[in-house]
Amino acid sequence: MDSQKLALFGGQKTIQTEFKRYNPIGIEEVQAATEVIKSGVLSQFLGAWHQDFFGGPKVNEFERKCESYFGVKHAITVNSWTSGLIAAVGAIGIEPGDEVIVTPWTMCATATAILHWNAIPVFADIEPETFNIDPVSVEANITPYTKAIIAVDIFGHSADIDALMDIAERHNLKLITDTAQAPGTYYKGKLTGTLAHVGGYSLNYHKHIHTGEGGIIVTDDDDIADRLRLIRNHAEAVVGNKGVTDLRNMVGHNFRLGEIECAIGIEQLNKLKGFVAGRQHAAERLTQNLQGLPGLRTPIVKTNCTHAYYMYPMVLDIDRLGVSRKRIIQALEAEGVSGLAGGYANIHLLPMYQQKIAYGLNGFPWSSDICHRDVSYDKGICPVAEKLHEFTYLGFSMCMHELSDQDVDLIGQAFNKVWSKLNELRV
């Protein structure tokens, strides 16, 4: 049999076995969790102004460890980073109807956190190199109603924080960063996620380190930190006795993370650097394997930045290749490469935004008096992000697997094989 015949057309698959599922949990986490279970104290939060308002021993130990690791004044644990984003938007004092500029090329929760407070997401386009929100587009979308920006360090590469902070300062806006995918990476020698007014990380199972579910919010601002802790833990029941007078957004939740998760988190934090280094090694090896394939752009890492490769982002030159992304993915999948995808469906194109139906059926908040103007979610508002999603972006999900050098080389072989037979896919 012709070993070079594409598996798509009945040839031999390049990759015969499934890659190992990523599993960062080891014996240290088992012991730490077991100790908590034996203690019987699985949580120690009280939604009242009391010492247990701040949670139990593992919550506090993990938070203090995060503060020293990330070099921030406050680290606040939450039961998911989605909860963290919601708390962050509330804590910076957003008013109903305020506009918050956000990227459409991210996980939906980044934008939903804005709507949660009845504020209005405004989508700015992204940079074609890093897929992060484009400061030029941010500036073009600022109106008198804009109050904040949410940038995402997508796929593991920092957004252009200096440019975004400069815009935030000039227009008196708050900057929140969503660093779910890039913990442990650097921007100009500083840890990504720690350079805005509020930042934070996800601890869900497919992120670099995890506690099952969970999140960490970081900030250097004492007032924002206070308000984050209140929103996390039943603010409305606490403000009276705590003596909080600014009641704005003191609408509480139960966003508390448990003792078991925090005990696991302490161990995971110790391993973060090693896990990120492992991903970087695999990604750099893959890039070498893919060197020289025409019409395929491997990941770009800007000077002064490091990349965590939550995703391994590639871009196809479809005109040059003369083959659609769908067809290329089919051929690669047939060779046994799993975890390929066309990137994020642009958030503004989701039904909720297209139909402006979120709370109830009457178009609230867009249709109400709190909304200052008719904000567009039309196709075409973010041409870079839209084109990438529709035609040219090709992501390989590094986060799902633990890849040995041999696995990486096999992926490289599969790409090289498909690229050597592109003419057969051009029908």
Applying CB under 6 A, the site for ligand PLP has a residue count of: 14
Question: Which residue, 7 or 203, has its beta carbon nearer to ligand PLP?
Answer: 203
- Could you say whether residue 79 binds ligand PLP (CB under 6 A)? no
Choosing from 87, 94, 150, 152, the residue that interacts with ligand PLP (CB under 6 A) is 152
CB of 375 to ligand PLP, least distance (A): 22
Residue 397 in the binding site for ligand PLP (CB under 6 A):
no
Q: At its nearest, how many Å lie between ligand PLP and the CB of residue 302?
A: 19
> Which stretch in 106-114, 126-134, 238-246, 364-372 sits in contact with ligand PLP by CB under 6 A?
106-114
Rounded Cα–Cα distance for residues 407 and 402 (Å): 9
Q: Which of 309, 251, 237, 290 is nearest to 419 (CA)?
A: 290
**Cα(272)–Cα(192) distance, rounded to whole angstroms?**
13
Residue 413 near ligand PLP by CB under 6 A: no
Amino acid at 409: D
Task: Tell me the one-letter amino acid at 278.
Answer: G
Q: Interior CA angle at 127 toward 123 and 131, to 5°?
A: 85
Q: Is 107 in the site for ligand PLP (CB under 6 A)?
A: yes
Residue 116 C-beta: closest distance to ligand PLP, Å = 13
419 SS3 class: helix
Q: Is the dihedral of CA 79, 84, 90, 93 positive or negative?
A: positive
CB atoms within 10 A of CB 408: 21
If the CB atoms of residues 77 and 110 are measured against ligand PLP, the closer one turns out to be: 110
The minimum distance between CB 376 and ligand PLP, in angstroms, equals: 23
CB of 172 to ligand PLP, least distance (A): 26
**Binding marks (x or -) toward ligand PLP, 174..213, rule CB under 6 A?**
----x-xx--------------------x-x---------
Residues 203-262 that bind ligand PLP (CB under 6 A): 204, 215
Phi/psi of residue 2, each to 5°? -70, 110
Tokens 């957003």 appear where? Answer: 94
CA 320 from chain centre, in angstroms, equals 31
Question: d(Cα 16, Cα 382) in Å, to the nearest integer?
Answer: 40
Task: Tell which residue, 217, 193, 251, has the closest CA to residue 81.
Answer: 217
Per the listing, tokens 């599922």 go with: 21
CA distances from 411 to 8, 122, 141, 248 (A): 16, 38, 41, 52
Among residues 62, 81, 117, 275, which is the contact residue for ligand PLP, using CB under 6 A?
Answer: 81
Q: Does 103 bind ligand PLP (CB under 6 A)?
A: no
Which CB atom, from 178 or from 335, has the smaller least distance to ligand PLP? 178
Binding of residue 45 to ligand PLP (CB under 6 A) = no
* All residues at 6 or more sequence positions from 241 whose CB lies less than 8 Å from its CB, including other chains: 48, 49
Q: How far apart are CA 183 and CA 274, in angstroms?
A: 12
| Closest approach of ligand PLP to the CB of residue 84, in Å | 7
Q: Considering the complex, what minimum distance in angstroms separates the CB of residue 260 from ligand PLP? A: 16
264 near ligand PLP, rule: CB under 6 A: no
**Which span sits near ligand PLP by CB under 6 A: 91-99, 102-110, 236-244, 311-319?**
102-110
Sole binder of ligand PLP in the list 80, 130, 132, 306 (CB under 6 A): 80
- Yes or no: say if 87 and 219 are a contact pair by the CB < 8 Å rule: no
Q: Which of residues 275-294 bind ligand PLP (CB under 6 A)?
A: none
Identify the CA nearest to 160 among candidates 179, 193, 134, 189: 134
Would you count residue 346 as binding ligand PLP (CB under 6 A)?
A: no
Task: Return residues touching ligand PLP (CB under 6 A).
Answer: 80-82, 106-107, 109-110, 152, 178, 180-181, 202, 204, 215
